Amino acid sequence: MEHALQDQVAVVTGGSRGIGRAICLSLARDGAQVVAIARDLDQLTLLAKESREAGLPGSITPCRLDMTDREGIDDAIKQIMAQRDRIDILVNNAGITRDGLLATMDDDQFDEVLTVNLRSAFWIMRAVVRPMIGARRGRIVNVSSISGITGNAGQANYAASKAGLIGLTKSIAKELGKRNITCNAVAPGFITTDMTDRLPEQTKEAVKPHIPLRRFGTSEEIAAAVRFLVGPEARYITGHVLVVDGGLSM
C-alpha cells in the first residue's frame, strides 16, 4: 500500500519528547523517513526503536544536535543531503520556556529563548530551503504558540520568539511560494507535555475553565495538524497559522 508521505525525507527538531516525538511518529506512520533532532540521544534512540518495533512504514533516525549550534545545524543538513539527497519536509518544533516578569528578566533569559525558539529556526530554514529550491518542492511547518498571537504575562521572551516565528513563516511563504515551497505555522494552546507539567497545579486548574473544550490538548492532536500541513491535502495552503487550542484564544 502506498502511504501519503512514502519515501519523503522529513527533518523534525525537538523530536525527543512531547509534541516533537508525536510528530515524528505521525510522519513515520505515513511512510516518511524522519530525521529526529534533539540533544538527548538516549530518548531519540528509544523513539527510533519504538518505531521499528511498531513496524511503521517509514523510519526514524536519531540526530543528536543542539539547535543553538549554528555550524552544527549547517553540517547536519549537509550530512542529511549527502546521505538521502533530498529534504521534503522541515518541522521546527524545538522550543523552551524561561518564564519571568519583564522587570527582572535578564539578558540571558531573553537571549536563550530567542536563540532556541527563533534564531535556530531561521538557521535551519536557511540551510534547508537551498535543496528545496533546487527540487522545486518543500513543506515547512513552524511550531509557534498562542502566546505569540495573544501575548502572555510572564512570557515576554517566549511570546516574542513565537510571534517572530509567525513573521518568519509568512515572509517565507511569500518569498518561496513561486518555488512550490509552502510554509505554515501551528499555534498550540495548552498541551500536556513536560513543558506544561512544570506549571503549578493551581495555574493549570485556573486555565481550564477558559478553554471551551475544558481540557488540555495532547501531543497527538498537534501532530495531526502538522501532518495535515505537510501532506498532499494542504498543497494550496501557505502562510497560514493553524491554531490548535481547544478554543482558548478566540
Residue 26: alpha-carbon gap to chain centroid: 13
Interface with ligand NAP by CB under 6 A: which range of 2-10, 46-54, 93-101, 129-137?
93-101
User: Can you give the length of the chain in residues?
Assistant: 250
Supply the minimum distance, in Å, between the C-beta of residue 13 and ligand NAP. 6
List the one residue from 8, 16, 157, 182 that touches ligand NAP (CB under 6 A).
Answer: 16
| CB-nearer residue toward ligand NAP: 14 or 131 | 14
Q: Confirm or reject binding of residue 108 to ligand NAP (CB under 6 A).
A: no
DSSP assignment of 50-63, as one string?
Answer: HHHHTT-SSEEEEE
Out of 110, 123, 158, 190, the active site residue is: 158
| Strand ranges, E, within 66-172 | 89-92, 138-143
Interface with ligand NAP by CB under 6 A: which range of 16-24, 47-55, 76-84, 103-111?
16-24
Task: For residue 158, indicate whether it is catalytic.
Answer: yes
DSSP assignment of 18-84, as one string?
Answer: HHHHHHHHHHHHTT-EEEEEES-HHHHHHHHHHHHHTT-SSEEEEEE--TT-HHHHHHHHHHHHHHH
List the one residue from 5, 9, 19, 91 that touches ligand NAP (CB under 6 A).
Answer: 19
**Residues 31, 19: Cα–Cα separation, whole Å:** 19
Supply the minimum distance, in Å, between the C-beta of residue 71 and ligand NAP. 14
| CB-nearer residue toward ligand NAP: 66 or 106 | 66
Interface of this chain with ligand NAP, residues 219 to 248, rule: CB under 6 A? none
**Residues 174, 158: Cα–Cα separation, whole Å:** 25
Interface of this chain with ligand NAP, residues 183 to 202, rule: CB under 6 A? 188, 190-191, 193-196
Site size toward ligand NAP, by CB under 6 A: 29
**Could you tell me the CA-to-CA distances from 122 to 23, 84, 91, 127, 219 in Å, in that order?**
20, 22, 12, 9, 24
Give the torsion sign (CA, 153, 154, 157, 158). negative
**Residues 165, 122: Cα–Cα separation, whole Å:** 9
Interface with ligand NAP by CB under 6 A: which range of 51-59, 65-73, 98-106, 124-132?
65-73
Site string for ligand NAP, 148-187 (x = CB under 6 A): ----------------------------------------
As annotated, the active-site residues are 158
Which positions touch ligand NAP (CB under 6 A)?
A: 13-20, 38-40, 43, 66-68, 93-96, 116, 143, 145, 188, 190-191, 193-196
